Amino acid sequence: MRPESEAELAEIIASATGPFAVQGGGTRPVGRPVEAATLSVAGLSGIELYEPGALTIVAKAGTPLAEIERVLAAEGQRLAFEPMDHRGLLGTEGEPTIGGVVAANVSGPRRIQVGACRDHLLGVRFVDGRGTVIKNGGRVMKNVTGYDLVKLLAGSYGTLGVLTEVALKVLPRTDVAATLIIHGLTPAKAVAAMAQALGSPFEVSAAAHLPEGTDGGPVTLVRIEGFEASVAYRLDRLSDLLRGSGEIERVTDPDAVAKLWSGVRDVAQFQGRPEDVWRLSVKPSDAPDIVAKMPEKAQAVLDWGGGLIWAACAPGTDLRATIGPFDGHATLIRASKQTRSAVPVFQPEPAPLAAISAGLRAKFDPRGILNPGLMAEPGGMSR
C-alpha cells in the first residue's frame, strides 16, 4: 500500500486487519525479516519548510534524501551527520528517503564530531499502531517541552510508529576537506593514533582505519574540514602530532577526499562480497581486542576512531558468540533471511530493558502490526 497523505496513512493503519512491513525507499532491509504487506511511505514526499538562516529543514518522511541534499547544497548547507547509503553494501536498489534515514538512525563518519542522525532530529510526526497521528519535538534547536520521543523514534525501525514528517537541523557545508593517511598501522596502533588526533584541539571530523588501502596495506585516515587556511594550519599541526605513528601522506584533492570518505561511509570494502556484515559500536580502545577475537578470516573496517567496527565474516557466523561480552552492541546488517531469522539481528538487551522496550512497543503499537518482530530476538516475543 502506498498512501499519498498522512490522513490516508492513518486511515489505513486504523482499519488494518493484518501486519505491515513499513518501508521508505526500501534500500535498508535491516532486521529480522517481516512477512507482511508492504506499507510504503514513499508517497508522502516533499520539503515543507526550509529556513537556511535558522538551520532547519522540515520534510515529509518519503522525501528522497537526494532531493534534500540538493536543496541544502544550493544554500551551502548539508546534513552534517553524513548519512550512509546502504545500497552498495546491501545490494539494494531504489531511492533512500529521509524517513528511512531517521527510522534507522543512519549516520556516517562525521557522527564522531557532530553527533548522530538522532542528534540532528528536531521533530517528528508519526502514526502509531492505532492509526493516531502524534507529533513530538518541533522545528527549533532547543526544545525540552515534554518527553523526547524524537530520540525514541529515531532508530526504532518503524516498530513504534510510521514516520510521516521529520524536522532536521542542518549545518553549513565546509569550504575545504583534506585527509591525512598513515600507512601500515596495526589496528592497535591505528586506534591509538586516531585517539591522539581526536583528543587534539584540531577538530578532526572523521577518523577511520581500513585493512586494505589502494596499495593493498592497511591505511589510517584522519579528515579535517573548514576554511582553507584553517585546514592547512591544522593539517600541519596534526602531521606534527602524528609524526611518530608512521609514514604520513596528505590528500587535498577534493574529489579524492570525497571518494575516500564515501568509501568509508558506505563500507565500500565489503560491497559485492559474499560474507555477512556486522556493525559493532564499542569503546574505541576496545576495538583492537575485539578485532583480534574475530574469526580468522573475518575482516574489519574501523570508523569513529575505532568506536565503530564493520566486520565481514563467513555467512551464518554468530559474531557475538565468538567475541564474547563487550561494552557496546552489535547489529547484523547484512545476512541471508535465514541467518537473520536465526541470529538476533539487534543486540539482545538485559531483561529489565527488554521488558521496557517490549512495554513501549505494546503501548505504541498494541496490536503488533508495525514491522512486528523486526527488532526482536528469534523465538522471543513477536515485538
Partner 1 sequence: MQMPIPNPEIIAKKARIVERLQSVLPEDAVIHDPVETRAYECDGLTAYKCPPLAAVLPSSTAEVAAVLRICREEGVPVVPRGSGTSLAGGALPTADSVILGVARLNAVLETDYANRFIRVQTGRTNFSVTGAVEENDFFYAPDPSSQLACAIAGNIGMNSGGAHCLKYGVTTNNLMGVTMVLMDGTVVELGGAHLDAGGLDLLGVVCGSEGQLGVVTEATLRILRKPEGARPVLMGFNSNEVAGACVSDIIKAGVLPVAIEFMDRPCIEASEAFAHAGYPLCEALLIVEVEGSPAEIDEQLGVILQIARSHDPVELRESQSPEESAKIWLGRKSAFGAMGQINDYMCLDGTIPVSALPLVLRRIGEMSKHFGLDVANVFHAGDGNMHPLILFDANKPGDLELCEDFGAEILKLCVEVGGCLTGEHGVGIEKRDLMTSQFTAADMEAQLWVKDVFDPAWLLNPAKVFPLAITETRRAA
Assess 307 for contact with partner 1 (CB under 8 A): yes
Assess 352 for contact with partner 1 (CB under 8 A): yes
Assess 173 for contact with partner 1 (CB under 8 A): yes
Sign of CA dihedral 198, 202, 208, 209: negative
Could you tell me the smallest distance in angstroms from the CB atom of residue 93 to partner 1? 27
Which lies closer to partner 1 via its Cβ, residue 97 or residue 136? 136
DSSP state letters, 343-381:
S-SSPPPPHHHHHHHHHHHHHH-TT--BSTTTTSPTTS-
Cell matching residue 353 = 530493558
**Stretch 332-351 residues interacting with partner 1 (CB under 8 A):** 346-347, 349-350
Assess 10 for contact with partner 1 (CB under 8 A): no
Assess 353 for contact with partner 1 (CB under 8 A): yes
Which residues make Cβ contacts (< 8 Å) with residue 220, sequence separation at least 6? 181, 182, 183, 185, 190, 193, 194, 207, 208, 209, 245, 246
Q: At what angle do helices 187-198 and 228-242 cross, to 10 degrees?
A: 130
Assess 308 for contact with partner 1 (CB under 8 A): yes
Assess 118 for contact with partner 1 (CB under 8 A): yes
CA torsion angle for 233, 243, 221, 298 (degrees, to 10)? -170
Could you tell me the smallest distance in angstroms from the CB atom of residue 203 to partner 1? 8
Whether residue 155 contacts residue 105, with contact meaning beta carbons closer than 8 Å, is answered with yes
Q: Looking at 112, 193, 221, 370, which residue binds partner 1 (CB under 8 A)?
A: 112
Site string for partner 1, 203-222 (x = CB under 8 A): x-------------------
Assess 229 for contact with partner 1 (CB under 8 A): yes
Q: How many residues bind partner 1 (CB under 8 A)?
A: 84
Q: Which residue has the cell 520534510?
A: 59
Assess 160 for contact with partner 1 (CB under 8 A): yes
Look at residues 105, 106, 165 and name the one whose alpha carbon lies nearest to residue 134: 165
Assess 46 for contact with partner 1 (CB under 8 A): no
Which lies closer to partner 1 via its Cβ, residue 1 or residue 229? 229
Assess 15 for contact with partner 1 (CB under 8 A): no
